[in-house]
Amino acid sequence: MTGRLSFVVTAMLVLCALSLVNAQYQARRLFIELERAQSAARQLDIDWAQLQLDQSTLGKNSRIEALARRDLNMVSLTPERTQYLTVRDK
């Protein structure tokens, strides 16, 4: 009886030890995954801030006007160049 009890206790002890090792492995794996996700989130925040800065820079009226003048050969509208259309009553 003592030999059988000793075997059962030893088997349970081994199972508990294996369970502990598995739990530690899973915890490490999840921690590494969490660190990677946090790193990706930080990179996305940096990218978002850069995109907002780019948008504010590219959307400035002075830049748009300069590009229109240079690339499209556009000029500012003057009253002399303005044509008004009127609707005639029938």
88 in a structural domain: no
Structural domain count of the chain: 1
87 in a structural domain: no
72 in a structural domain: yes
Task: Provide the residue range defining the domain that includes 40.
Answer: 2-77
Exposure letters 29-46 (e unless 16+ CB within 10 A, then b): eeeeeeeeeeeeeeeeee
Q: Which residue is it, tokens 């000029």?
A: 75
82 in a structural domain: no
69 in a structural domain: yes
Model confidence pLDDT, tens digit, residues 73-82:
888 888 888 8
84 in a structural domain: no
Q: Please tell me the pTM assigned to this model.
A: 0.57
Model confidence pLDDT, tens digit, residues 34-44:
999 999 999 99
89 in a structural domain: no
pLDDT at position 47 = 97
